[in-house]
Amino acid sequence: MKLFKTLIFTFLVLLLIAPEAIGQKKKLQKAVDAFEAGEYYDAIDLYKEAYAALQNKELKTDAVFKIAECYRKTNSPELAELWYKKAVGGNYPDPIAVLRYAESMKKNGKYEDAIVEFQKYKELVPDDPRANLGVKSCELAMQWEENQMGYIIQDMKYFNSRSRDYSPAYARDDYEVVYFTSSRDDADGNKTHGATGQDFSDIFMTKVDRKGKWSVPVPLDSKINTEFEEGTPSFTSDYNTMYFTRCEVSKRERLGCQIMVTSRTSEGWSRPESLGLLPDSLVVAHPAISKDGLTLLFVSDMGGGYGAHDIWKVTRKSMSGEWSPPENMGDDINTEEDEMFPYIHKDGSIYFASNGHMGMGGLDIFRAVEEPGGRWNVENMRSPINSNADDFGIIFEDETERGYFSSTRKGKGNDDIFAFSLPPLKFNIKGIVIDHKTEAVIPDAKVKLIGSDGTTLENKTGSDGTFRYNLKPNTDYIFLASKEGYLNSKGRETTKGQEESKDYRITLEMASIDKPIELPNIFYDFGKWDLRPESMVALDKLVEVLNDNPNITIELGSHTDSRDTEAFNQQLSQKRAQSVIDYLISKGIAADRLTAKGYGESQPKVVDAKTAKLYTFLKEGDVLNDKFINALSNQDDQEICHQMNRRTEMKVLRTDYAKDSNSN
C-alpha cells in the first residue's frame, strides 16, 4: 500500500511538472528559432523570457550568451558587454565568450580593460591570432586617439534622425544633392526588422536649397522604395545610373539581397532591374561602381570567401557589356570577419569598412592602394575618422579630402552621417643666419628659397638675422644664404610625408672669409698622412661648400702638435694637406682652385670664444703653445690642447675665380 501511494504521488507530481517543462521548452525553442533566423532583436526578449523560466544551469548560461550575441549583432555594445560578462562569470564553456567580452570592451572604448581580456583569451586559445590582434589594436587605438589626424568631423544634423541614417552618396556633380539610406518614419516599408527593431530602410534624398541650407530629406518614389529594404546607393560618374541594394525580408525566413540598377529618364528614375549577379537566395549588397563604370564592387556571404562577408568584384569591357563572374578581392582586403561598404575613389584606391583588420572598435574605415604585382596595401584611416564605434560608408568629393561617412558614435540615433574635411596643410619656416665662428646674427644676408616644384623666392634677413617663408605641401626645399665677406651657406628642408601642419626652424651658419676656417673631423693615423674613411665624410661637405661657392680659391693648411721634430712635423703636415687636395680633385674640384700648405707646429691654435665655452680651463685668446700646455697640471687637459693643434684649416685666397675652359 505504501509503495502504491508513493507511485501515485510521483505520478501526480509529474502531471504538474510536465506542463511547466513543456512550456519552458517551447519558450526556449521560440528564442532559438528567432536567433537562427537572424531575428536578433526579437530573440532578446524571447531568450530573457526563457531564461527566467529555465532551471537547468547550463541552459541558463547558454541563454545568457545568446542574449549577449543578440546585443552584439544589433549593435548594442554596452549591453553586449554586460551580458558577456555574465556568461564568462557563469563559466560558459566556449572560450569565444571571453573573446567577445574583450571585443565589446574595445568597442566601448575600454582599451586597457579589453587588453586584459584578450590576454586571458590567448591563454585559453594560444593559437588564435585574434588575441594578439586584439591587444595590438587596443594599443594602436590609444596611440591614434592621442595623436589624431587633422580631419575636422561634423555631425550632419540636417541628414540625421532618431533612426538609422547611413551610406551617403553624391547624386550630382556639384555635390549639393545627397542620397542616403534611412529607416526613419517616412520610409515606405511598413514592417519592423526583427534583427534591428527598426522600420525597413529606404533611400532618401536631400539637397542644398536657395539659401544654402540642406533641405528636409524626402524618400525616393515607389519605383525605387518598396515594402522591402532599399539602401546603399552608388552612382556612375555622370550620375545618370544608380546601383543600390534591395533585400526582401520575411519573418523567420532568410531571403537574399540583390543589387538593382536604374537610370535617369525625363520622368525620373526608371523601374529598377536586378543585375542577377548571384541567385536570389544569396546576399549581394553594398554596390560601388568605378568612375569608368567598368568595375563594380559588392559585398556577399557566398561560399569561396575568407569570412562572414567579403568584398567581391565584377568587371565588363564596355558600358553595354556583360558582367564577368564574381571574383573575390583577395586576402589583402578580406579577412575572417566582415568587410563591407566599399567605395572606389577616383584615384583608383578603395575604401571599405572592416572589423577584421587592425582597428579601433567595431567597423573601421580602411584605404587600400594597389601596388605593382596586384597586391593591396591596406591602411587604417585612424582617429578621428575612426572611433571605438562602427565607422563605415565613406564618400569623397572627387579628389579632395572632404566628404561624408557613417558612424554609430554619439549622434541622434544608431547610425548617423558625419561630414569630414581635411583643412589645407600650413607649413611655415622661420630661419636665422649666424656667424659660424662667433654665433653672432648676420643681418642683411640674402636668403634664396628653391623648391622642387620650381618655386624660387628671395628675401633678406632682418636686423635680428631672421627670415620667414611659407612652404607648400609635398615639396623639397633648399635655402641658400649669401653675403659679401662670407662663404655661401646652404640648408635643406622638406614637407614631403607631412600629414599635419608644421612650423619649421632652420639655422644657416655662414663662415667669414677674413680668417681661416677650421675643418672638423679630418683624421689621420699617428704619423701618417693617409685620410681615414671618416675624414672623407667631412671632406664631402667641403666639396659641397666649394661647389656652392664657385668663385673662390682656397689654401688647405695642415697643422701638427709639437711632439716630434720641427722638420718631421713640417714634412708631415705638407703631405697631409696634399692628401686633402688630392681627394678634392678626385671629387671634381679644379686643381687651380686649391693650394696645399703644411705649417707643422709653427702656428699653435688661438682659442676663440666658441671653443672657450666648451672648456673651463681655457679662455678666449689663449695660445696653445708648449709653454701654455706644459703649465697645465692635468694631463688630460694637455692632451686636449695637443688635439686642437692637430687641425686642418681652409683659407680663402680669392673671391673672383672664373673657371678656365681649358682647366680640368
> Per-residue pLDDT tens for 147-181?
898 899 999 999 999 899 999 999 999 999 999 99
Indicate whether 307 pLDDT > 90.
no
Give pLDDT tens digits for 367-376. Answer: 999 999 889 9
Q: What is the mean pLDDT of residues 210-230?
A: 92
Q: Is 26 helix (H, G, I), strand (E, B) or coil?
A: helix
Structurally, what CATH architecture does the domain formed by 517-605+647-654 represent? 2-Layer Sandwich (3.30)
Q: Which of 197-206, 337-346, 492-501, 556-565 is predicted least confidently?
A: 197-206
> pLDDT averaged over the chain?
89
Indicate whether 28 pLDDT > 70.
yes
User: For residue 605, what are the CA distances in angstroms to 141, 447, 525, 624, 636?
Assistant: 58, 33, 21, 6, 17
Q: Which of 100-104, 377-381, 524-528 is predicted least confidently?
A: 524-528
Q: How confident is the model at residue 427 (pLDDT cuts 50, 70, 90)?
A: very high
Indicate whether 5 pLDDT > 70.
no
pLDDT at position 52: 87
pLDDT at position 11: 43
Classify domain 427-510 at the CATH topology level. Answer: Immunoglobulin-like (2.60.40)
pLDDT at position 94: 95
Higher pLDDT, 517 or 289: 289
CB atoms within 10 A of CB 248: 14
Could you list the beta-strand ranges (E) of 161-224. 165-170, 177-182, 202-207, 218-219
Indicate whether 497 pLDDT > 50.
yes
Q: How confident is the model at residue 9 (pLDDT cuts 50, 70, 90)?
A: very low
493 has which bridge partners?
Answer: 477
Asked if omega into 384 is within 30° of 0 (cis), the reply is yes
Q: Where are the domains of the chain?
A: 2-146, 152-421, 427-510, 517-605+647-654
Q: Are 287 and 340 within 8 A, CB to CB?
A: no
Q: How confident is the model at residue 14 (pLDDT cuts 50, 70, 90)?
A: very low
Alpha-carbon gap, residue 653 to 651, rounded angstroms: 6
Q: Which residue has 596643410 as its cell numbers?
A: 425
For every residue of 552-579, DSSP letters joined together read: -EEEEEEE--SSS-HHHHHHHHHHHHHH
Indicate whether 191 pLDDT > 70.
no
Indicate whether 190 pLDDT > 90.
no
Q: State what percent of residues in the chain have pLDDT above 90.
A: 69
Q: Are β-strands 456-460 and 466-471 bridged in parallel, bridged antiparallel, or unpaired?
A: unpaired
Classify domain 2-146 at the CATH topology level. Answer: 1.25.40
Q: What is the mean pLDDT of residues 518-525?
A: 79
Indicate whether 519 pLDDT > 80.
yes
Q: State what percent of residues in the chain have pLDDT above 70.
A: 92
pLDDT at position 273: 94
Indicate whether 8 pLDDT > 70.
no
Q: How confident is the model at residue 517 (pLDDT cuts 50, 70, 90)?
A: confident
Phi, psi of 126 (to 5 degrees): -60, -30
Is the pTM value of this prediction over 0.95?
no
pLDDT at position 285: 94
Backbone dihedral region of 276: left (phi > 0), alpha (psi from -120 to 50 degrees) or beta?
Answer: left
Which of these CATH numbers, 2.120.10.30, 3.40.50.150, 3.40.50.10490, 3.40.30.10, describes 152-421? Answer: 2.120.10.30
Higher pLDDT, 26 or 452: 452
Q: How confident is the model at residue 619 (pLDDT cuts 50, 70, 90)?
A: very high
- What b/e sequence results for 85-108 when a residue is b if at least 16 CB atoms lie within 10 Å of its CB, and e otherwise? bbbbebebeebbbbbbbbbbbbbb
pLDDT at position 15: 42
Single-letter amino acid, residue 11: F
Q: Which residues contact 187 (CB under 8 A, 6 or more apart)?
A: 199, 200, 201, 202, 219, 225
pLDDT at position 200: 84
Q: Are 153 and 405 within 8 A, CB to CB?
A: no
Q: Is 327 helix (H, G, I), strand (E, B) or coil?
A: strand
Indicate whether 187 pLDDT > 80.
no
Indicate whether 394 pLDDT > 90.
yes
Indicate whether 451 pLDDT > 90.
yes
Q: How confident is the model at residue 537 (pLDDT cuts 50, 70, 90)?
A: confident
Q: Are β-strands 257-265 and 241-247 bridged in parallel, bridged antiparallel, or unpaired?
A: antiparallel
pLDDT at position 524: 74
Q: What is the mean pLDDT of residues 332-339?
A: 94
Domains 152-421 and 427-510 share a fold: no
Indicate whether 23 pLDDT > 60.
no
Interhelix angle 40-53/57-73, rounded to 10 degrees, is 160
pLDDT at position 216: 94
Q: Which residues contact 109 (CB under 8 A, 6 or more apart)?
A: 361, 387, 388
Q: Are 323 and 315 within 8 A, CB to CB?
A: yes
